[in-house]
Chains A and B, each alone.
Chain A
Amino acid sequence: MSTGEPDAIVVDGLVKRFGAFVAVDHVSFAVAPGEIMGFLGPNGAGKSTIIRILCGLFAPTEGHVRVSGIDVATDPEGVRARIGYMSQKFSLYRDLTVLENLTFFAGIYGVRRRARAERIGYAVEMAGLGGREGQRVATLSGGWQQRLALGCAILHRPRILFLDEPTSGVEPMARRRFWDLIHALAEDGVSVLVSTHYMDEAEYCDRVALINHGRLVAVDTPGALKRAGGGRPLFVIEPADLGAALAALAGAAGIASASVYGGTLHVAAADPHYDAADLAALFAERGVEPGRIEPTAPSLEDVFVDLVASDTRTGGRAA
């Protein structure tokens, strides 16, 4: 990813307060050209707020934000001409047709008349909307609306794309197609900052930023995050009685976290040398039948749950 070009997005010591509420708490990171950066975090963690500050919708309380080399605070319009933005609401005009929406946004972005037909044609093709140019947006399915919204956001060839939960409420097949489009754009050198709450989507990102309570808990590639996994052994158990097993683990020495995944429990140990036998002994001591105990490699979701749990416990001091 690092091609020697200056970073597309640089965030340095960003703080955003709404009254007494701290929505963004000293966040710093950078996104390279052509990089896909995923924002992962619970609802209300501050993902959308950071994206809105980067787009110049909110002014930062503290810190500096440079997008495409331009300070957002001093020249928000300069930034807006160079970015594309798409939110979960797919902000299209529902009473307008596909073509009318594209023409409108081309006009708003100041796409030159000569380039307009080519750019609109590209967007129609990209969204797979060929033959539906005259259809009202309201009659399109979610996946199509989503791809059209993306098409509208890239009419002016932005080098940076902000996508705020762009796949929420869209069926899995359409989500998969959408990610193919994002990868194609990134290969052309477009930097993409995308927030999501789908764990599987985080795996498609070059790097993932974990955000909790407005704080940046971790930033790394999905692989590195999983390898690190907090350095903790992880076990999958299948107890007959989930509730009893969970109660047995609560507050037990050496146990970092335990969370339910369907019919199984994922148990993370605090000590790197903790093994399956230690866990079995713990259950035997408490008189609970743990069922099968298997050591496992942490998924991104395990890492996420673990990091968020320890961040919330320590109030950010450990991170």
Chain B
Amino acid sequence: MKNRLKVLRAERDWTQAQLADRLQVSRQTVNAIEKGKFDPSLPLAFKAARLFEMSIEDIFQDEAGS
């Protein structure tokens, strides 16, 4: 699954640690999601969508469907 987490984070000038703090996960988790090594759960994806005030589809894209 691809995602725009890194771009959205950079637009807001947040560090990985700051985003992790806002999402209530560890920095390692944010890093793994950004690198596409780990797919977040639906609740975490919703939390990210709420934080960036976007829909889930605007942040996460299914590679098979794209």
Q: Do A and B bind each other?
A: no
